[in-house]
């Protein structure tokens, strides 16, 4: 059985809704490689950066508030290694529900 960590010790999560030219299933692999190249094995072990959902040219990344600047730089590095031209952050939210709503609104435009 897994030990429970008290809620007060967990870092608050942040969800980043972003748009880029080339987003595909290989983005998850490229993000892992970028985190390892930029921050090394110990930095990658401490850092949390996950691609939660991909829809068209938009995606949703989960990270913590402490790791947000590092996660954004790793994301930009991963997109550049894939050949994407740029990164446009739509919204940074504290809840996945608001981030998904922002993604849905941006897809409708």
Q: Provide the CATH number for the domain around residue 72.
A: 3.30.70.3250
Domain membership of residue 87 as a residue range: 12-108
Average pLDDT over residues 61-89: 90
Question: 25 falls in which pLDDT band (50, 70, 90)?
Answer: confident
- Position 23 in a domain: yes
Low-confidence winner among 19-28, 52-61, 70-79 (lowest mean pLDDT): 19-28
Helices 68-82 and 26-46 cross at an angle (nearest 10°) of 150
Count of domains forming the chain: 1
Q: Is the dihedral of CA 53, 59, 65, 68 positive or negative?
A: positive
pLDDT at residue number 11: 84
Q: Tell me the C-alpha distance between 109 and 97, whole Å.
A: 19
CB 56 within 8 A of CB 85: no
pLDDT of residue 108 exceeding 70, the answer is yes
pLDDT at residue number 92: 95
- Position 2 in a domain: no
CB 87 within 8 A of CB 73: no
Question: 107 falls in which pLDDT band (50, 70, 90)?
Answer: confident
């Amino acid at each position: 059985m897994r030990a429970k960590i008290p809620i007060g010790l967990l870092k608050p999560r942040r969800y980043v809704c972003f748009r880029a030219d080339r987003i595909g299933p290989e983005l998850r692999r490229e993000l892992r490689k970028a985190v390892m190249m930029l921050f090394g094995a110990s930095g990658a072990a401490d850092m949390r950066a996950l691609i939660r959902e991909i829809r068209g040219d938009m995606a949703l990344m989960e990270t913590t508030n402490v790791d947000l600047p590092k996660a954004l730089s790793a994301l930009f590095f991963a997109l550049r290694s894939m050949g994407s031209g740029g990164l446009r952050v739509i919204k940074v939210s504290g809840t996945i529900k608001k981030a998904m709503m922002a993604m849905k609104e941006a897809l409708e435009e």
